[in-house]
Amino acid sequence: MEMLQQAVEVESLPYVFQDAITIARRLGIYYLWIDSLCIKQDEDLRDWKVESESMGRIYASACLNISATWSVNLGDNLLGKRTCVTMAASPIEIDMGNLTRTYYAFDGDLWSDEFDFGPLNYRGWVFQERYLARRVVHFGQSQMAWECKEGRALEMFPDGLPRLLGQHPKFECTWATVQLTSQQPAQSKVLEFARDWQNLLENYCRCDFSFPRDKLMALKGISTQIAMNRPGDFYLAGAWKSTVLFDLSWHRHESERKEYPIANTYERAPSWSWASVDGSVQFPLAQETLSNLLERYAEVEGLAGHGIVIDDKFVTTGTIRLRASCIPLNLQLSEDNDITGFHGAGFQFSTTKGPFRSAIYFECTNEVLFSLSRSGKLLLIPLFSTSHSIYGIIVQKVRGVGEHRRVGAVRITLMAITGDLQEPGGNNDIMEMDLDHRISHMDHFSEKWSISAIIFSHYLTQQKPGSRCINIS
């Protein structure tokens, strides 16, 4: 520490740091922040706990963010040797009869392959550093790139990206710039905010962390910026009070649940929070960008909790108070103990193949799940419906009056798009395609509605079965 306070010998630093210093000097910038040099690397994390609170502000206030996007380790160079060939589109001459014309060809996935999918952008802490920064200069494999809120450019296209590469500016946080002017914002604004937030979380959850304990802390800069523009809202454990009803039905695919068992992380955040798990997480509104909200079957009456530190682990506790229908849930199992369907309140839904198949996702192991099912401790709580589906969560009763934990999520299909599609494999179900593929084939398909799901929705709205207040922690 005493040596560093006197001077830093540049030649002794890793090549990436040396190049960053060179860039700052050439630009006439006198102050350079490098995390591992500016934060004490002490084992008890005392300095890190203090500085991590300011990370979002540091990157949001900086003049320029230098991104070593394709540097795998500190021994790599930012300013390495390159050839002009990699920075220019390839000329191609095409002879059309007596007319010869020259065209320029380039990879249509250049931006995503070179920068969005760069190793650095898969690191969890880099997520907010990139999106909060005013300006970012990326150092890729073949060229540099520029990214700010007004545009994006490459050395190949210094005046801006052509349409085929996308002309969107740096991810502009609409959820951060839209002011929440009242305690009861317009429903359309709530849904817009919920979609933006869920899309952001899906991208964030794909990132990796050296220490999974940092998952909520590394998002704090973004949440703090949003909170400044939404004074009437409340943030806790990765959710906002105004939109938490739409966030609760997140889920993970089976492969993610097996690779990152919740038993290793469930104490990190409340069971209802996506931050209680590791790996990729899917959210309902992020997937249904073309859907409209049809009904709300539950209401959030309260959201309370706080963050604490236990044995150098950052833990967030929190409870959601819901007024909702609590329907006893029963599972249908095959001879191999695979879930083939579920039923509750006299309604039955299948999870097997078919246009109206529903989906059910559990975070607990099958042994725990079957035990809860046999003992009658599982409850289905419908939350809301969109043009395509009814979404809900599954909770288990725990000790205490009205106390529950979230153990899974459910999606009940309201509307399916079906038709004939001649493709290898004989797939004729458009619901299995990605969104762009669906839209391009819309003329060949028709909408079909599930009568049982429509009646179930009407039943929830009119009868409100088992409606009461419960706490989920």
How confident is the model over 338-380, as pLDDT tens digits?
888 898 889 989 898 777 889 999 988 778 888 887 888 899 9
Of 189, 93, 174, 110, residue with least CA distance to 145: 110
Domain boundaries, the chain: 10-172, 175-414+450-472
With 0.85 as the threshold, say if the pTM is over it. Answer: no
The whole-number pLDDT of residue 431 equals 45
What are 469's strand-pairing partners?
Answer: 323
What stretches in the chain show pLDDT beneath 70? 74-75, 79-86, 166-188, 266, 289-290, 307-314, 417-446
Please write down the long-range contacts of 392-397, taking CB distance under 8 Å and 24 or more positions apart: 392/249, 392/297, 393/248, 393/249, 393/272, 394/329, 394/360, 394/362, 395/470, 395/472, 396/372
**CB atoms inside a 10 Å sphere around CB 444:** 12
Q: What tokens were used for 181?
A: 């002017």
The whole-number pLDDT of residue 261 equals 84
The kind and range of the H/E element at 149 are none
The whole-number pLDDT of residue 181 equals 47
Q: Are 262 and 277 in contact (CB under 8 A)?
A: yes
Q: What tokens were used for 159?
A: 């005046």
The whole-number pLDDT of residue 267 equals 77
Taking phi over 0 as left and psi of -120 to 50 as alpha, with beta for the rest, 403 belongs to: beta
The whole-number pLDDT of residue 392 equals 96
